[in-house]
């Protein structure tokens, strides 16, 4: 097979491999691909894309499969391109504070490498120990630190990408500023593998902050926690994270992996501030005052171990919830910050009226609430009720000026709802762009648009 167009490329059609690459972290139905390939470099990606073209196969890019919207689920007659083997850090340029990476590098590994050099890559999805930078770029991933530092898009300077015809393009570049032509790089960010395959990414990095302080704020009343979020920010403090958990989330964590969180409170905020020690000390005092003025209790994590324990609790939410019900319909709505109290009360009301458990947690500082509608997919009636509940939640979110996805993207699971938010003319433009990049509709078909 030396002269085969795919010679040297690792490919499998074994059933066990096809099964492993047939699902992601969402509730979307899995589907088997025809084959899975693990390219090692851009040339191999190009050859795979050309081969797929000649053989009428679709191409599904895959990072680590941690996506929450079914965006990397195979479609009919497709080949999955897993970027696991393209995981090198190609360059760290401390003079210009940039790093060039291959798409398969795990976010947490990049963070650690940069930290050793005194630098910092802020986007930190809670899945950071498994998800890849390529997946983060394709979903424009956010994370707890987005409140102060922004999301993936804010750190991508340039992308090398392979188009559906096998040609290679370079978008963006090495400079922090650029005002030349349309911004193709930004079109690729968040496009969920439907326009092109990223093969090399240049990222911005920042100096590590001098110091970090972690605070835990406990509230007996859900509304007070939401008001605390607005009060802290309107007093001109921008924490690096401001994570919210409701009572059911706290109970779920403590039942699953006890970390010492109190279960007799209605909500908590996990807040981190960073900067110069003297500044953050003052900010912490102000936050504690705000918390007390709303009847809450505040504690400061005393050392790294205490801090890590709190973040461990935050990261265990997802597995903990599966002990409540077998299916969690996980949505990541986002509302303007001042509407957080309203949306939380509405969610409570919908849950009481429908009898369906809704568990909320998330990045309260930027209004991005992870809403988990807890059902059993095998109970058809309950599942249908859960799906109706999701639609009601989207309607209310949009009425409050919000959006149906803050960071997970549309994929398959939210594609039936995209028209609730994006109007016809805008959708036409988006589909037109897709048609120019991918005239045969072979790049991750069935995702974003139905």
Ligand X SMILES: Cc1cc2nc3c(=O)[nH]c(=O)nc-3n(C[C@H](O)[C@H](O)[C@H](O)COP(=O)(O)OP(=O)(O)OC[C@H]3O[C@@H](n4cnc5c(N)ncnc54)[C@H](O)[C@@H]3O)c2cc1C
- Residues 18 to 57: which contact ligand X by CB under 6 A? 24-25
Token code pair at residue 406:
């803050």
Q: Does 192 bind ligand X (CB under 6 A)?
A: yes
- Near ligand X by CB under 6 A: residue from 63, 172, 239, 402: 63
Nearer to ligand X, 161 or 265 (CB): 161
DSSP 8-state secondary structure symbol assigned to residue 155: G
Q: Under a CB-based contact definition with an 8 Å cutoff, are residues 153 and 186 in contact?
A: yes
- Residues 82 to 141: which contact ligand X by CB under 6 A? 83, 103, 125-127, 131-132, 134-136, 138-139, 141
Q: Does 408 bind ligand X (CB under 6 A)?
A: yes
Count of residues binding ligand X (CB under 6 A)? Answer: 36
**Which DSSP string corresponds to 198-245?**
EEEEEEE-EEPPSEEEEEEEEESSHHHHHHHHHHHHHTT---SEEEEE
Q: Taking CB under 6 A as the rule, which mask of x and - marks residues 318-347 in contact with ligand X? A: x-----------------------------
Nearer to ligand X, 122 or 143 (CB): 143
Q: Does 356 bind ligand X (CB under 6 A)?
A: no
Q: Does 143 bind ligand X (CB under 6 A)?
A: yes
Q: Does 164 bind ligand X (CB under 6 A)?
A: no
- Near ligand X by CB under 6 A: residue from 44, 160, 407, 438: 407
Q: Shortest CA distance to 40 belongs to which of 11, 77, 19, 13? A: 11
Least distance in angstroms from the C-beta of 193 to ligand X: 3
**How far is it, in rounded angstroms, from Cα 343 to Cα 362?**
13
Cβ count near 301 (within 10 Å)? 19
Nearer to ligand X, 192 or 346 (CB): 192
CA distances from 103 to 99, 174, 338, 402 (A): 12, 17, 36, 31
Q: Does 193 bind ligand X (CB under 6 A)?
A: yes
Nearer to ligand X, 68 or 356 (CB): 68
Nearer to ligand X, 17 or 192 (CB): 192
Token code pair at residue 111:
């963070």
- Near ligand X by CB under 6 A: residue from 46, 64, 396, 404: 64
CA distances from 206 to 70, 132, 313 (A): 32, 19, 27
Q: Does 215 bind ligand X (CB under 6 A)?
A: no
Q: Under a CB-based contact definition with an 8 Å cutoff, are residues 96 and 174 in contact?
A: yes
- The stretch near ligand X (CB under 6 A) out of 67-75, 204-212, 221-229, 342-350 is 67-75
Least distance in angstroms from the C-beta of 152 to ligand X: 8
**How far is it, in rounded angstroms, from Cα 313 to Cα 296?**
20
Token code pair at residue 210:
């001098």
Nearer to ligand X, 199 or 284 (CB): 199
**How far is it, in rounded angstroms, from Cα 42 to Cα 102?**
10
Q: Under a CB-based contact definition with an 8 Å cutoff, are residues 273 and 287 in contact?
A: yes
Binding site for ligand X (CB under 6 A): 24-25, 60-68, 71-72, 83, 103, 125-127, 131-132, 134-136, 138-139, 141-143, 192-193, 197-198, 318, 407-408, 444
């Amino acid at each position: 097979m030396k002269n085969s167009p795919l010679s040297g490329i690792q490919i499998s059609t074994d059933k066990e491999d096809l099964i492993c690459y047939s699902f992601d972290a969402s509730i979307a139905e899995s589907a088997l691909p025809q084959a899975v390939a693990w390219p090692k470099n851009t040339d191999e990606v190009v050859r795979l894309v050309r081969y797929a073209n000649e053989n009428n196969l679709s191409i599904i890019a895959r990072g680590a499969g941690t996506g929450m919207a079914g965006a990397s689920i195979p479609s009919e007659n497709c080949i999955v391109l897993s970027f696991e083997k393209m995981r090198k850090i190609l360059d760290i340029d401390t003079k210009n504070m940039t790093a060039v990476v291959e798409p398969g590098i795990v976010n947490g590994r990049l963070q650690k490498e940069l930290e050793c050099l005194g630098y910092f890559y802020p986007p930190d999805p809670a899945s950071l120990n498994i998800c890849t930078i390529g997946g983060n770029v394709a979903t424009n991933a956010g994370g707890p630190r987005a409140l102060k530092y922004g999301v993936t898009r804010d750190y991508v300077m340039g992308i090398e990408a392979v188009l559906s015809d096998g040609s290679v393009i370079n978008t963006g570049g090495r400079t922090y500023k650029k005002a030349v032509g349309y911004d193709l790089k930004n079109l690729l960010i968040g496009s969920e593998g439907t326009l092109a395959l990223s093969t090399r990414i240049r990222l911005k990095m920042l100096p590590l902050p001098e110091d970090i302080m972690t605070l835990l704020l406990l509230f007996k009343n859900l509304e007070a926690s939401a008001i605390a979020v607005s009060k802290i920010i309107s007093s001109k403090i921008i924490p690096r994270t401001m994570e919210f958990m409701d009572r059911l989330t706290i109970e779920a964590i403590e039942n699953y992996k006890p970390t010492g969180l109190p279960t007799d409170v209605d909500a908590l905020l996990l807040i981190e501030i960073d900067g110069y020690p003297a500044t953050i000390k003052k900010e912490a005092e102000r936050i504690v005052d705000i918390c007390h003025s709303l009847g809450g209790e505040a504690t400061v994590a005393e050392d790294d171990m205490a801090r890590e324990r709190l973040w461990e609790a935050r990261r265990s939410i997802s597995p903990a919830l599966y002990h409540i019900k077998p299916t969690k319909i996980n949505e990541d709505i986002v509302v303007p910050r001042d509407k957080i109290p309203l949306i939380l009360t509405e969610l409570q009301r919908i849950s009481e009226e429908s009898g369906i458990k809704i568990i909320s947690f998330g990045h309260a500082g930027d209004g991005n609430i992870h809403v988990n509608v807890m059902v059993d997919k095998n109970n058809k009636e309950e599942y249908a009720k859960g799906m109706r509940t999701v639609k009601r939640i989207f309607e209310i979110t949009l009425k409050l000026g919000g959006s149906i996805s803050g960071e997970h993207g549309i994929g398959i699971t939210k594609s039936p709802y995209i028209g609730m938010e994006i109007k016809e003319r805008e959708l036409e433009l988006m589909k037109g762009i897709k048609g120019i990049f991918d005239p045969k509709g072979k790049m991750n078909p069935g995702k974003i648009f139905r």
